[in-house]
Amino acid sequence: MSSIQKARPLSPHLQIYSPQLTSMLSVIHRGTGVFLSFGSVAIVIWLGALAQGPDAYVQFQSLLAHPLSKLVLLGWCFSLCYHLCNGIRHLFWDVGAGLELSQVYRSGVVMLVTSFALTAAIVFFAVQKTGGLL
């Protein structure tokens, strides 16, 4: 590539804009999606341990009992709630609904509150079920 081509101006990119709710929610949607993809590995390991037998399953469960694992599980829990709620928001946009700027901001806030509430509800049930988060 010649030096003239290299010096060509770049169009404004992410770092030039001040953060807005809309752009942040979009970035987080991608982030949670990527993070959730790593969770698929955990699901495969879970099913593998289940098929392997009781010993492997106990081992898997003790791995999950580690506080760090619980933190990751909490992260996956929130990511799933967020990606699910925001994904539904995207599906509405795909059929052309709710695209006015005021509607986009309103649905963004509603989505955020809903995903936090869902996360809290799931954690509540999980704690009740297993008798203690950590």
Partner 1 sequence: MSLRSPLAKAVGLGSAKHGFSHWWWQRVTAIALVPLSVWFVYSVLTVMGMDHQYASDWLAQPFNATVLILFVLTMLFHAQTGIQVVIEDYIHTKWLNLTLLLAVKFAAVLMAVMSVISVLKVVLGG
Which of residues 9 and 53 has its CB atom nearest to partner 1 in the complex?
Answer: 53
Residues at the contact surface with partner 1, assessed by CB under 8 A? 30, 33-34, 36-37, 40-41, 43-44, 47-48, 50-51, 53-54, 57-58, 77, 80, 84, 87-88, 90-91, 94, 122, 125-126, 129-130
Q: Which is nearer to partner 1, 87 or 98 (CB)?
A: 87
Residue nearer to partner 1 on the CB measure, 46 or 102: 46
User: To the nearest whole angstrom, how small is the minimum distance from the Cβ of residue 52 to partner 1?
Assistant: 8
Q: How far is the CB of 57 from partner 1 (least distance, A)?
A: 4
Among the listed residues 52, 51, 49, the one whose alpha carbon sits nearest the alpha carbon of residue 64:
49
Which has the closest alpha carbon to 87: 58, 111, 62? 111
Quick one: tokens of 23? 């752009």
CB of 102 to partner 1, least distance (A): 25
Q: How far apart are CA 49 and CA 46, in angstroms?
A: 5
Q: Would you say 79 and 36 are in contact if contact means Cβ atoms under 8 Å apart?
A: yes
Give the list of residues 6+ apart from residue 27 with CB closer than 8 angstroms, or none.
none
Instruction: CB nearer to partner 1: give 50 or 109.
Output: 50
CA-wise closest residue to 106 among 22, 17, 19:
22
